[in-house]
Structure 1
Amino acid sequence: MKKGRLLFLLIFCLVFLGACGNNKTAGTEKDTEEKQETPKQEEYVDGPLTKVGQKNKGEDNEIYELKNIKVVDETTDLDPLSINIKDVKILSISNISDDLLESYQQGLKLKLKNPVNYIQISFSAENKGKIDLLWPQISHVILNTKEQVNAKENQLLDSGEWELYSGAKKDITQGIPFESDPKDIKEITFVFDSSVGNGTTVTDEKKVKVKF
């Protein structure tokens, strides 16, 4: 009888331990499945995008992503005009509604599509001369992909008035859309337009290259 009881208890313990092990394994598998099924939350940045891959979300849920950036901080002197290029960014806007895309398209010659890729250049301009200038800023951009875009006819960002008065300095940001694949952009040539004062040309057109 004692041997029979001992054998019964031994079998019972083995069965109990096996059941616990199976429950633990099932629980682990369930936890793993839940972790795999949980979608990764997008992380958005507040403020300017400064690192490649960073994103932020606009008021209409459109998503801005920084594809590339070049901090330039170089000055081009076109006496009496002095231009300091701060940085150049390549950005992409995705998740654009039809209404928002239509609003972007207004006033542009280039046919936009979702996502919208564009070049954002930030620079300052100072008129060190004694006469007021009428200066259209950047007239064209030329990409290493051989694409050429008329910046005057394709402005995503309002760069402000063209008048630059004697002794004045202002910060300017221009946003220029393009059709090439952002990954292919290695070099951009910015064509700064000529300026006019008192009815004559004061500064000539100037090309400035920026390499990534």
Structure 2
Amino acid sequence: MKKLAWIAITAIMLLIISACGNADSTSGTEDPKGEAAASDQEEVSNQDAAEDEDADEETSEKSSEGEDIPKVEKDENGNYILTTVGQTIDEPDTGTIELMKIKDVNETVDISPIKVTVKDIKLFQITDVQETMIDYLSMYGLENTAPEKLNYIQIAYKSENTEDKDIDWYGIQNVVLSNGEQLDAMMNDFISDDHDMDTIYYGNVKKDGTVGLLYKGNPEEVESVKIIFGESMDAESYETLTEKQQVEYEL
């Protein structure tokens, strides 16, 4: 029974996140349907890679001022579309899920020959956490056995092998929050997707990916997010083609 419940929870999380790239302009200052811009990226090092950007606070300010929050809609496939801070959904095996922050990114990261487009970053909070959800997340770094609420970050992206040769790429390896938390995306990502099934990118293939990671702090404390992408490697020789890359976004 627990196994079936865990499958149901994973399906719920995928329903919530599957429409991440379909948010309209009311959820941010950038249009995710337009052509993606290049990210300000650099190879991973011990130096601070922070870059000042304009924070996207419009939706958060509106909801905090008591303005109407639009009803959560579903797309033609029955997927939830949470696009505005303050929107909530209730799930019997999970709890009440609320969108706390959102950043529409729509920027590309070059990990040649892998091209990654970061769609958006969302911070969620789960209250009235159900026991089934606690059991499921205990496999992904949850330490508190009876939490009143859970916070997690969700990063949606799409990736493409732009060459004919086979490439091995492990996706997002770490996420660093401005509150000082470093999250292990290799071990604690609780959302399964196409990328998790197979890290090999055969010639000219595309995949959608979503990372979901629990964190301990409050959403208000997270003002920026640094994403560490793994290196791309030749799938046959395991030669490194492009080193690890990092980008940082203000929320």
What TM-score, normalized to structure 1? 0.74
Q: Percent identity?
A: 29
Q: Please name the residue that 1:167 is paired with.
A: 204
Q: Please name the residue that 2:151 is paired with.
A: 117
Which whole-Å deviations, capped at 9, do the CAs of 1:49-96 have from their partners, x for residues lacking one?
A: 100000012242611100000001111122211111111000111211
2:45 matched to 1:45? Answer: no
| Equivalent pairs, count | 169
- Would the alpha carbon gap of residues 54 and 201 (structure 1) be closer, same or farther in structure 2, given more than 3 Å must change? same
Q: What 5-or-longer segments of structure 2 have no aligned partner?
A: 1-69, 74-79
Superposed CA RMSD in Å reads 1.7
Which whole-Å deviations, capped at 9, do the CAs of 1:5-36 have from their partners, x for residues lacking one?
A: xxxxxxxxxxxxxxxxxxxxxxxxxxxxxxxx
Structure 1: how far apart are the matches of 2:143 and 2:72? Answer: 29
2:248 matched to 1:209? Answer: yes
2:109 matched to 1:79? Answer: no
Which of 124, 127, 138 matches 1:105? 138
- Would the alpha carbon gap of residues 176 and 61 (structure 1) be closer, same or farther in structure 2, given more than 3 Å must change? closer
Q: Please name the residue that 1:11 is paired with.
A: none
Q: What 5-or-longer segments of structure 1 have no aligned partner?
A: 1-42
* 1:115 CA displacement: 1.4
Say which structure, 1 or 2, has more relative contact order (CA 8 Å, 6+ apart): 2
CA contact (8 A) 1:74 1:86 kept: yes
- The DSSP-based 3-state class of the residue aligned with 1:158 is coil
Letter in 1 for 2:152: Y
Aligned pairs for 1:1-212 within 5 A: 45-46=72-73, 47-60=80-93, 62-106=95-139, 108-112=140-144, 113-159=147-193, 160-161=196-197, 162-197=199-234, 198=236, 199-212=238-251
CA contact (8 A) 2:113 2:232 kept: no
Which whole-Å deviations, capped at 9, do the CAs of 1:167-190 have from their partners, x for residues lacking one?
A: 001111111111111111100000
CA contact (8 A) 1:44 1:57 kept: no
Which whole-Å deviations, capped at 9, do the CAs of 1:118-137 have from their partners, x for residues lacking one?
A: 11111110001222122111
Structure 2: how far apart are the matches of 1:48 and 1:70? Answer: 14
- The DSSP-based 3-state class of the residue aligned with 2:83 is coil
Structure 2: how far apart are the matches of 1:203 and 1:174? Answer: 22
* 1:98 CA displacement: 2.1
Structure 2: how far apart are the matches of 1:71 and 1:110? Answer: 27
Larger Cα-atom Rg? 1
CA contact (8 A) 1:90 1:182 kept: yes
